[in-house]
């Protein structure tokens, strides 16, 4: 939706780092998530960050959160062809239980 | 353990027919969610169940859409008098409790209305 925005497309060479960006508008967001969707498949949870954290690292994944600017990013180190997919960021707000998703960023990894 | 499962994986129906989509959440998860993924609208929240509380139906697009959750486990999403704009992938997710917020998604049901 319009409350969470992502760029549409990212092309990256195998072995390089990928950075996927996301902006959101609601300052009451409690958790922010990154999901991966491969063709014909459901959403796979990659990682999440609580809103009082600035950074979270999990193997090849690094999440950075700038709460002041309402900006979230996902860095994938040593990107592989298997990382080609659509990546969605999502926020969960303090009120309610639903997730609000961005439109998704299609990542294409070229050999 | 087993993840969220959904059935059928694909459903093709004619305009005006009713359809039922099923979701089996992860065992022990008390919260269950339905979302819809379509080309024009992206990923949209539809409905949320938590234990025995009244469901949050705020995302249902019309009164043709309804859902129930029997015994606090399996859920069925029903679409009556389907329309072509209902064509989408319907995704179900579950989470352990309201406080354990991470939602795990099933593979989805692709609905095509001819």
Q: A16 or B70: which carries more pLDDT confidence?
A: A16
Q: Is the peptide bond before A43 cis (omega within 30 degrees of 0)?
A: no
Both tokens of B10, joined, read 């694909």
CA-to-CA dists, residue A26 to A51, B45, B77, B96, B107, angstroms:
11, 17, 29, 25, 29
C-alpha span between B70 and B98 (Å, rounded): 18
Point out the least confidently predicted range of A4-18, A60-74, A84-98: A84-98
By DSSP bridging, strand B19-24 and strand B5-7 are antiparallel
pLDDT of residue A17: 96
- Find the angle CA(B76)-CA(B77)-CA(B78) to the nearest 5 degrees: 110
Average pLDDT on A85-96 reads 87
pLDDT at res. A34: 96
Instruction: Give B45→chain A minimum CA distance, Å.
Output: 6
CA-based R_g, chain A, Å: 13
Instruction: With CB atoms and an 8 Å threshold, state whether B56 touches A98.
Output: yes
Place B1 in a pLDDT band, splitting at 50, 70 and 90. Answer: low
pLDDT (tens digit, 9 = 90+) per residue, A31-57?
899 999 998 888 999 999 998 889 999
Within 8 A of A104 by CB-CB distance, chain B residues are 42-43
Beta partners for residue A61, in sequence order: A58, A76
Q: How far apart, in whole angstroms, are the C-alpha atoms of residue B46 and residue B60?
A: 5
Subunit contact B108:A42, Cβ cutoff 8 A: yes
**Is it the case that residue B12 has pLDDT exceeding 90?**
yes
Residues A102, B54, B4, A49: is their CA dihedral positive or negative?
positive
Q: Which chain B residues are Cβ-neighbours of A97 within 8 angstroms? A: 31, 33, 48, 50, 56, 98, 101
The confidence score (pLDDT) of residue B97 equals 72
Q: Span A6-30, mean pLDDT? A: 92
CA–CA distance, A60 with B108 (Å, rounded to integer): 27
Q: Which of A35, A97, A101 sits opposite B42 (nearest CB)?
A: A101
Predicted pLDDT of residue A45: 92
Distance from CA of A43 to the nearest CA of B (A): 6
Token code pair at residue B27: 């065992």
**A chain contacts of residue B91, beta-carbon cutoff 8 Å:** 42-43
Burial class (CB in 10 A: 0-12, 13-18, 19+), B1: exposed
Q: What is the pLDDT of residues B58-111, one digit of tens each?
A: 999 999 999 999 887 999 999 999 999 999 999 999 998 765 568 899 999 999
Q: How far is B15 from chain A (nearest CA, A)?
A: 24
Convert the pLDDT of each residue in B13-66 to its tens digit: 999 999 999 999 999 898 999 999 998 778 999 999 988 888 999 999 999 999
> Pairing mode, if any, of strands B10-13 and B109-113?
parallel
DSSP-derived letter for residue B55 is: P
User: Using the beta-carbon criterion (under 8 Å), do A98 and B59 form an inter-chain contact?
Assistant: yes
CB < 8 Å & 24+ apart, contacts of A42-45: A42/B4, A42/B91, A42/B105, A42/B106, A42/B107, A42/B108, A43/A88, A43/B91, A43/B93, A43/B105, A44/B105, A45/B102, A45/B103, A45/B104, A45/B105
Q: From the list B44, B48, B108, which residue is nearest A97 (CB)? A: B48
């Amino acid at each position: 939706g319009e409350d969470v925005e992502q760029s549409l497309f990212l092309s990256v060479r195998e072995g390089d780092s990928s950075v996927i960006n996301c902006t959101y508008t609601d300052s009451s967001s409690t958790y922010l998530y990154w999901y991966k969707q491969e063709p014909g498949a459901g959403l796979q949870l990659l990682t999440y960050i609580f809103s009082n954290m600035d950074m979270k690292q999990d193997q090849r994944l690094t999440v950075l959160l700038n709460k002041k600017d309402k900006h979230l990013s996902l860095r994938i180190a040593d990107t592989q062809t298997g990382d080609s997919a659509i990546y969605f960021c999502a926020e969960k707000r303090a009120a309610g239980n639903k997730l609000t998703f961005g439109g998704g960023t299609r990542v294409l990894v070229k050999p | 353990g087993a993840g969220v499962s959904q059935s059928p994986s694909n459903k093709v129906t004619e305009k005006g027919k009713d359809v039922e989509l099923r979701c089996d959440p992860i065992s022990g998860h008390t919260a269950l969610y339905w979302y819809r993924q379509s080309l024009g609208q992206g990923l949209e929240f539809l409905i949320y169940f938590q234990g025995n509380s009244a469901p949050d139906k705020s995302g249902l697009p019309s009164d043709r859409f309804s859902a129930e959750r029997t015994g606090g486990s399996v859920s069925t999403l029903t679409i009556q008098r389907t329309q072509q704009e209902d064509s989408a992938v319907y995704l179900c997710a579950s989470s352990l409790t309201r406080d354990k917020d991470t939602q795990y998604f099933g593979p989805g049901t692709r609905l095509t209305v001819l």
